[in-house]
Amino acid sequence: MEGPSEAPEEGPSEAPIEGGSEAEGLESLSDAVPPRELQAVRARGPVTVDGRADDEVWARAPVGSGFLERTPDLGAEPPLETRVRVAYDDAALYVLVEGEVEGPQDLQVRTLRRDSGAIFADDTIAVKIDPHHDRRSGLTFGANVDGAQVDTMVLEDGRISIREWDAVWQVESQIEDDRFVLEYRIPFAVLGLSGRASTTAEGITMGFDVSRDHARRNATYDWRLIVPPRHPVSASAFGTLTGIRDIRPRRALEYTPFVVARTDFGPSFTLDPLRVPNVATGADLRVQAGKASFVEASVLTDFAQVEVDEVQVARDRFPLFFPERRPFFINGLDVFNFGDQRRGQLFFSRRIGLTGGRPIPILGGLKGYGRSGRLSWGVLNVQTMRTLPRASDDLEQREEFESTPPENITVGRLRVQASRRVIVGALAMGKARMAGPREADGHDNFSAGIDGELRSLDGKFRSYAFFAGTWRETPAIADEVDDSGAVVTPGEPAGEEFGTSAHLRSEYQGLFVRPRVEWLWSDERFQAPLGFYRRPGTARQRAELKFAPRPRVMGLRDIVFGPVAAVETEPDYSALLTTAYGGDLQINWAQGWRVQYQVRSLSDRVLEPFELYLIEVEDGTYRGQRHKFEVGSPRRWWLFGNVEYEFRQVFGGVSHSLETELRARLGKHFAIQGKYTQLFGTLGEAGEDFNFGFLNGTVDVAFTRWLHWDTLVRLNLEPGGERLGLQSRVRWRYRQGSDLFVVYRTDQPLGLDAVGETPRQPFHEVTVKLTYYLRALM
């Protein structure tokens, strides 16, 4: 392969740290990483994306070099050079990355599967873009040197990472004796960019960074160095990309019709969308409605190809958190984000169209989102349909689905970047039942809140707060009567209830010192039916102080340790509910080995009896300790292992948990991984025993970059819920944006129901789904 025909202009570079001690050099990195800027140039003709640097534009494009090592030796100059160039035309951004190698044997590729996190354990390039330069959200377009793709959306400067985000973009690769080349084409429509800003004298400025993973050295190099503990896609740590001017992107209309055929091997056949139809069709539509605004619609929405949830087992009486995986609810999610993920989210999209993890038919959804100057906005409306139970459902499931009426859910969000340091916003949402008895559960409700974020320009200090309120209809309670019809206890008419919640979180992410405090409060009347609150009606305070020295001995990368304290009380602070005091220690080696230890002194006040593993736990105050040990091997090895042991004094007894995770990547076409956890111990005053396990496993076969087959195993041996689940999927991307899915699912009960009376029915289903992606420019 021939390179550029003339020497390109050298872009701004960044020298490695020189002079002074290593500690002084690292301290200077912690204080301020020098800014970096790269200029994009306009292509004069078509750019052929083939992994070859022979298009004329690459001879003119400035070169970004001077990458620095993030791991294992922070701030060092890598032994091999990496160069990046950027070009554009009216429709897309083009990125060319060249990496020097010591020979083809220097490169490692152990996966071809699209959207696999294992790609980052290969020799990989990650192009990171903050399209609107808000220093808060980012998009990652990653590819290994064989061209296997992975894309990720990151929110809140790295706090929230969404691997399920899926975009249509292109990358091709070439490998030579002394280098590899990756060439990207990323449409402006994917980035949500318009031509309006490009007509100004400054043009468009984006946050921009490129990282290279060098598997043989277990190393990562950044064009603009991202200093730990910052997230690898921390937008506030990116450099800048300039020079994009006078683009005239036409508005994109993306239309994806689909057809679905399925069978559960039963004798019945139906087209009724209120049941699970054997044949169905629908469509997804995305149109660029304004300069940087998009509208998405989905009709007869189907999520047959979505990965099943992993098995989780509760360790206490509070609900478990499962992430959103459905594509329609992920695109544009950055603007809808509100609250403290996993603990206090006012809006949680999994509350829509799902009951008990099972899908409820969705008639359609409409979503709009975009930006105009400093304003970001989003609107979501979804209409669900009444659902009918399956033949294989047990009595409890039948009653649950028969009592679920059609609902309409509306969510609106505004956010304003008041300054480079301050963002303020508001969110409002409501759910209205469209039919069914008013006294049933699922009554109308409304929620609203305001939030704000303050952060330093370098992104190290961040403070976030919100205040929210909820309103809901309370169901009527009928009179209690005796056999003669006389009223024993008068009922109550339907009414309404108001609740409030507030949150404050502040943290500083320094290289050596990392304090964090947080507070989450909600009153006893607060309900968030469209959100996720792990424990509403409490006040939770938590503080931690982490220290992270980086000693240059014994191959260490860093040691992270410090105290942690958490207290939960009644919302009026009249009584303690739970306390946890202790400390954390984590030792990380440069080659990827990791050892972790946690200790906690615990106190938990149980207000009402509850059942755990079919054992009754009485109310009262329980005290004890928790110890947790964990050892992990380097994740870039072909065989990765992680072992975790936890001892906990809990609810009048003791609990032991042993978790083992193994992952083997046997070449780039085959991988297998599994995580098995065994729980055993005693609970309650009587010391009743429990002993069971659960398993999450995956087998991946990647025939090519476009055709792969995965099988997911879900085994749950928790008493009363013993099941074996399996999902086997074949995905063939037969053209850009278009897929054929063949999915087999089974759910095999391994015992009776929780009270040991009703045999549970097995479930089998085969689904074939064909999508066809059409894109037009208007």
By three-state DSSP, how is residue 108 classified?
A: coil
CB 560 within 8 A of CB 592: no
Task: Determine the residue type at 4.
Answer: P
**SS in 3 state form for 45-78?**
CCCCCCCCCCCHHHHHCCEECCCEEEECCCCCCC
| 30, containing H or E segment | helix 22-31
pTM of the model: 0.85
Compute CA distances 617 → 10, 205, 609, whole Å: 69, 58, 6
| 407, containing H or E segment | strand 407-417
Closest by Cα among 383, 500, 32 to 225: 32
Measured distance CA(285)–CA(367) in Å, rounded: 10
620-632 vs 670-683, strand pairing mode: unpaired
Per-residue model confidence as pLDDT tens digits over 602-658: 999 999 999 999 999 999 999 999 999 999 999 889 999 999 999 999 899 999 999
DSSP line for 671-692: EEEEEEEEEEEEETTTTEEEEE
**Structural tokens at position 104:** 């083809």
Q: In sequence order, which residues have a C-beta less than 8 Å from that of residue 539 and are 6 or more positions away? A: 519, 520, 521, 568, 569, 570, 571, 573
Q: What are phi and psi of 658, to 5 degrees?
A: -120, 115
Q: Looking at the DSSP assignment, which residues form a beta bridge with residue 375?
A: 372, 416
Residue 242: Cβ-neighbour burial (10 angstroms; 0-12, 13-18, 19+): middle
Torsion on CA atoms 588, 589, 595, 598, rounded to nearest 10? -20
Measured distance CA(348)–CA(532) in Å, rounded: 6
**Structural tokens at position 451:** 């939030």
| 539, containing H or E segment | strand 539-547
Helix ranges restricted to H, 192-297: none
**Structural tokens at position 266:** 């039963």
Q: In what order do the strands lie in the sheet with 344-345?
A: 339-340, 344-345, 532-533
DSSP helix, strand, coil percent of the chain (3-state; round to 5): 5, 50, 40
Instruction: Classify residue 651 as left (phi > 0), alpha (psi -120 to 50) or beta.
Output: left
Neighbours of 479 (CB within 10 A): 12
Give Dmax over CA atoms of the chain in angstroms.
100
Query: In 10-156, where do the E strands start and end?
Result: 37-39, 41-42, 68-71, 82-88, 92-100, 124-130, 138-144, 149-155
**Structural tokens at position 368:** 């709009």
Q: In sequence order, which residues have a C-beta less than 8 Å from that of residue 753 and are 6 or more positions away? A: 394, 396, 720, 759, 760
**Structural tokens at position 474:** 């309370």
State the Cα angle at 188 between 187 and 191, rounded to 5°. 100
Task: Determine the residue type at 373.
Answer: G
Per-residue model confidence as pLDDT tens digits over 228-252: 988 899 999 999 999 998 887 677 7
Measured distance CA(529)–CA(526) in Å, rounded: 10
Cα Rg of the chain (Å, integer) = 27
CB 114 within 8 A of CB 733: yes
Residue 775: Cβ-neighbour burial (10 angstroms; 0-12, 13-18, 19+): middle
Neighbours of 371 (CB within 10 A): 21
**Structural tokens at position 378:** 């989003």
What's the average pLDDT block by block, 10 residues per block, for the chain (778 residues)?
39 39 52 86 94 93 95 92 96 96 88 88 95 89 95 85 84 94 93 62 87 93 94 92 84 90 89 85 88 86 87 93 86 82 92 78 90 88 81 60 79 93 95 64 81 90 96 79 79 84 96 96 92 95 97 92 98 96 96 96 96 93 97 93 96 96 94 97 89 97 94 95 94 93 93 55 91 86
Q: Which fold has domain 22-244?
A: Immunoglobulin-like (2.60.40)
Q: In sequence order, which residues have a C-beta less than 8 Å from that of residue 13 and are 6 or more positions away? A: 65, 66
End-to-end CA distance of the chain: 37
Cis bond before residue 229 (omega within 30° of 0): yes
CB 61 within 8 A of CB 96: yes
Measured distance CA(320)–CA(347) in Å, rounded: 16
Per-domain boundaries in the chain: 22-244, 538-663
219-222 vs 68-71, strand pairing mode: antiparallel
Q: Looking at the DSSP assignment, which residues form a beta bridge with residue 500?
A: 469
Q: In sequence order, which residues have a C-beta less than 8 Å from that of residue 486 and are 6 or more positions away? A: none
Q: Which one-letter DSSP state was computed for residue 437?
A: -
**Structural tokens at position 468:** 């929210």
Q: What are phi and psi of 105, to 5 degrees?
A: -70, -15
**Structural tokens at position 332:** 């544009």
**Structural tokens at position 330:** 């992920």
CA 55 distance to own-chain centroid: 37
